[in-house]
Copies of this chain bind each other. A is one copy, B any other.
């Protein structure tokens, strides 16, 4: 599992064999089965997770008990409640394994140490932050400026793997519509 992370990091930064070896020992392997909750609202997020295999869902639950998915993360992506993690304050979101997962996680203390000590690690963090922010900006704009049918098309075009890999119920919770509406609209494409 560590090998995947090593590859991921060197891909991003070019060859830097020295500092990679500083970083890797701080990660801990974690195998979690489908349905495992890694974080709940009110809880302080202590880890950043790197996905070696599987899929994580970040979501909230509304007053009627419906889930709204903010984002799905898959292989070679990083997941955490960034703001809650950085400030060590309670989260407002759930993080759940929607498939069996092989994960690597790094603890808050190690993370802070590394960003301070290893510039390349800080650079990766900044990169992740900027990309995450950009994705979330896109997410707001698609949610507000596209109707349900166009959001489905958007998802098929931009995240075809997510579309085919997850259940309709999960996809619907990401698109902000009911599973029934998703079924009906898909037949119109």
Q: How far is the CA of A126 from the CA of B82 in the complex (A)?
A: 12
Q: Is A141 an interface residue (CB 8 A)?
A: yes
Chain B contacts of A131 at CB under 8 A? 83
Nearest B residue to A177 by beta-carbon distance? B144
Within 8 A of B (CB), among A13-64: 60-63
In chain A, positions 77-115 with a C-beta closer than 8 Å to chain B are 82-83, 86, 92-93
Q: Is residue A148 contacting chain B, with contact meaning CB distance below 8 A?
A: no
Given A70-B140, A92-B141, answer yes or no on A133-B83 (Cβ-Cβ < 8 Å): yes
Of B126, B133, B144, B176, the contact of A136 (CB 8 Å cutoff)? B133
Flag if B130 contacts A86 (CB, 8 Å): yes
- Copies of this protein in the complex: 2
Q: A136-B140, A140-B143, A143-B143 are in contact. List 17 more A-B contacts (CB 8 A).
A: A60-B141, A60-B145, A68-B145, A70-B141, A82-B130, A82-B137, A83-B137, A86-B130, A93-B137, A93-B141, A126-B126, A129-B130, A132-B133, A133-B136, A139-B140, A140-B140, A143-B144
17 contacts between A and B (CB under 8 A): A60-B141, A60-B144, A62-B145, A63-B150, A68-B145, A69-B144, A70-B137, A70-B140, A82-B130, A82-B137, A93-B141, A133-B136, A136-B137, A136-B140, A139-B140, A140-B143, A144-B176
